Structure 1
Amino acid sequence: MNGLTLSSLTLSPMFGWIVSPVLAIAVVALAVAGMVHAMRLRPDTDATVLGWIRRVLIAVTIAIMLLTPSTVVRTESRAINATDVFIAVDVTGSMAVKDAHYGSGEAITRLAAAGKVVSAVTDRYPDASFAAIGFGTSATLDVPLTPDARAIDNWARTLRAEPTSTSSGSNLDKAVDALLPAMKTVRQQHPDDTIIVVYISDGEQNTTETRRTFSSLRAYADTGISVGVGSTAGGNIPKIGDDGTVSEGQYVNDPSTGKPGVSKMDEKNLKAIADEMSGTYVHVDVDRTIGEQDMQAVSKNFRMTQTHKAREHTVPVVWPLAIALCVLLAWEALDWMAKSRRLL
């Protein structure tokens, strides 16, 4: 069978590994106790050895069903929702500023807050597909569209801000360079999919270039959300080594003043980007996180796809036992009717 393999039998108790074994033992023990008691009363009882063996078999069958024999199925295919979420995260040097919050009073870097947003997004869109883009001096499609949400979460946890030596300032529209062709390809391959853009940044634009509009994304995206991380009070930008490590106590100087530069979150830019995408803007902070209220339109359609990793799940195999139980119960009923007629 393509994409599907079966392994050996296993047990998957229907009521868990505590309740099911206790019930199974109790059922068999009661049946055996009843047989022993009936045999002790002979010949003062009409119970036969064959009759009680049959009842013990009924109890054993029920006990085995409670333990639920199952097969482990390994498959490389899965049904996914026809919703494609493109996540773009700002990785410029200002994202290393430690003035962000995400649902608590603890101050974290803007990039760390962005990682929490990414994790919340993958949680809020179960069974969807995701693509990840990091943008700074340039934009790259780091993770192509995949239904593996864990791959996206791992990507977000390993994000590092651009080294100070290679940074050339913040240009918010760099994300468009990677978003547009990737979304166009997906739209051509799956024209009926719902495409959502999640754009995460501090909104700071400090280059001399005029920012390009994000309205071009509307040709392929159904909607989008712009997420602001950081504070309007701002903070100093730390120096970042070529290996991605942050130098504590060392900051990037503002060329105009010669003093450590202050980076502030710019909500105006982020709101404008949300408007250009026909989406919404959210600023995550101490009291605000990504929740159900931020869920965008989700497709009601599903499609089958092949995955790179084999997945395992158990499939109960109780139908042979159910047939055996029906036969034994029918035998018990016929025996009871025969004895009832003799007693009339």
Structure 2
Amino acid sequence: MSSFTFAPALGWVAGSVIAATMAVAAVAVIWLHAVRRGASDETPGMCIRRCAACVLVALMALTPCIATTTTTRAVSATDVVIATDVTKSMDVADATYGDQEGISRLEAARLAIDDIVKAYPNSSYAGISFGAQGTLDVPLTPDAQAIDNWADALETEPASVVSGSLMDSALDALQRTLEHLHESRPDDTVILYVITDGEQTVPHLRRTFSALRPFVKDSCVIGVGSTQGGKVPKSAGSDQWVLDPDTGQPGVSVMDAEQVKAIADELGGSSILTADGMTVADRSIEGEAKRWTQTQSVKERTHLAPVTWPLTMLLLAVLAWEAGAWLAQSRRLVR
């Protein structure tokens, strides 16, 4: 839809001052011509030309424009970022997910990822794993099968690189990914899921996840494992255990529910503990998923196209007429 409007190129203050000055000048030209009629050599044509020039300058100062309004509509612009823990403790077989019990924490994470993807159809997904450090394994893609394949292929980090669990190892990869999404897709809704057992064995102060809050619309931290814990196998399904260096006995890993809830609070989101028999689909986050994926954002933008060139051509014609008349009158006076 197009409409006519004024949008002064110099701003409303300067444009209005110039237009008002030219309007006063036009009135003054007419008044002086009427007052001095018969007492000067000014012809009606001169008065008309000078008055027209003032009016044209006033209109140009107000900058007439054609305003065109366009409407853009975005549907289902949802980006789901999933970060999952792959530290060695995720091999502990003490997890529950729905009606499945005694499965490894990593298997519970796989089931949660499957539910997350189902809850967000027609969205884009990114996958991050974190252990000793965070890694963006799957850059943002609309291919849900790519995330499913990634989840199926997830493995815990080798025992040779294990130096303890540090919960903030995901932060750097998450911040880079979320900042990039915020810059490249500013109109999208970004949802973050973090899947972890919450265990931290490194005696360092954990960095806060609150730095991620400006980049996400909603978030959920999913805690897998049990508060009773279990022995950590050297490899998935193995009967050999990782030994505690302090005691020489098989180490026991326990899901830290308080850590899971603390991270959720820092992100400003919710938490799920699968040990309670809950799944992603059982909690309100699924309802929120439907709300986000059905969101439509409508934006109207107005483009202004100045149309001063006709006024410019008219002004040049009037000035040329005035110059020609002045030149002709000058020659007559010389003779």
**Normalising TM by the smaller chain, what interval?**
0.5 to 0.7
Q: Does 1:207 find its partner at 2:199? A: no
What is the alpha-carbon distance in structure 1 between the residues aligned to residue 143 and residue 232 of structure 2? 34
Q: Does 1:294 find its partner at 2:289? A: no
The equivalent of 1:267 in structure 2 is 257
Q: Is the 8 A contact 1:134 1:141 kept in 2?
A: yes
The structure that is helix-richer by fraction is 2
Indicate which of 118, 135, 143 corresponds to 1:140: 135
The aligned amino acid for 1:143 is V
Indicate which of 218, 240, 244 corresponds to 1:250: 240
The equivalent of 1:173 in structure 2 is 168
The aligned amino acid for 1:103 is G
* Equivalent position SS for 1:238: coil
Q: Does 1:115 find its partner at 2:110? A: yes
Unaligned runs of 5+ in 2: 1-73, 299-335
The aligned amino acid for 2:95 is A
State the Cα distance separating 1:249 from its structure 2 match. Answer: 1.3
What is the alpha-carbon distance in structure 2 between the residues aligned to residue 287 and residue 165 of structure 1? 33
What is the alpha-carbon distance in structure 1 between the residues aligned to residue 121 and residue 148 of structure 2? 13
The equivalent of 1:92 in structure 2 is 87
What whole-Å deviation, never above 9, does each CA across 1:196-233 have from its counterpart, x for those lacking one?
A: 11000000011022110000001211221000000000
The equivalent of 2:19 in structure 1 is none
Q: Which TM-score applies when normalising by structure 2?
A: 0.63
Larger Rg: 2
Unaligned runs of 5+ in 1: 1-78, 241-245, 304-344
What is the alpha-carbon distance in structure 2 between the residues aligned to residue 247 and residue 195 of structure 1? 36
* Equivalent position SS for 1:251: coil
What is the alpha-carbon distance in structure 2 between the residues aligned to residue 163 and residue 129 of structure 1? 30
State the Cα distance separating 1:288 from its structure 2 match. Answer: 1.2
The equivalent of 1:160 in structure 2 is 155
Indicate which of 259, 271, 274 corresponds to 1:284: 274
What is the alpha-carbon distance in structure 2 between the residues aligned to residue 290 and residue 91 of structure 1? 19
- Structure 1 stretches of at least 4 aligned residues deviating more than 4 Å after TM superposition: none
Matches within 5 A, 1:1-344: 81-240=76-235, 246=236, 248-285=238-275, 287-291=277-281, 293-295=284-286, 296=288, 298=292, 300-301=295-296
State the Cα distance separating 1:252 from its structure 2 match. Answer: 0.7
State the Cα distance separating 1:105 from its structure 2 match. Answer: 4.4
The equivalent of 1:29 in structure 2 is none
What is the alpha-carbon distance in structure 1 between the residues aligned to residue 180 and residue 122 of structure 2? 20
State the Cα distance separating 1:140 from its structure 2 match. Answer: 0.5
Q: Is the 8 A contact 1:104 1:286 kept in 2?
A: no
What is the alpha-carbon distance in structure 1 between the residues aligned to residue 75 and residue 203 of structure 2? 43
Q: Is the 8 A contact 2:94 2:101 kept in 1?
A: no
What is the alpha-carbon distance in structure 2 between the residues aligned to residue 162 and residue 238 of structure 1? 12
Q: Is the 8 A contact 1:93 1:162 kept in 2?
A: yes
What is the alpha-carbon distance in structure 1 between the residues aligned to residue 208 and residue 92 of structure 2? 26
What is the alpha-carbon distance in structure 1 between the residues aligned to residue 163 and residue 296 of structure 2? 43
Q: In structure 2, do the counterparts of structure 1 residues 230 and 184 end up closer, same or farther at CA, with 3 Å as the change threshold?
A: same
RMSD: 1.8
Q: In structure 2, do the counterparts of structure 1 residues 271 and 286 end up closer, same or farther at CA, with 3 Å as the change threshold?
A: closer
Q: Is the 8 A contact 1:97 1:236 kept in 2?
A: yes
The aligned amino acid for 1:82 is A
Q: Is the 8 A contact 1:198 1:227 kept in 2?
A: yes
Q: In structure 2, do the counterparts of structure 1 residues 152 and 210 end up closer, same or farther at CA, with 3 Å as the change threshold?
A: same
Aligned length, in residue pairs: 220
What is the alpha-carbon distance in structure 1 between the residues aligned to residue 100 and residue 109 of structure 2? 16
What whole-Å deviation, never above 9, does each CA across 1:276-311 have from its counterpart, x for those lacking one?
A: 0000010113631111622336151389xxxxxxxx
Q: Percent identity?
A: 47
The equivalent of 2:26 in structure 1 is none
The aligned amino acid for 1:239 is K
Q: Is the 8 A contact 1:80 1:127 kept in 2?
A: no
State the Cα distance separating 1:106 from its structure 2 match. Answer: 3.0
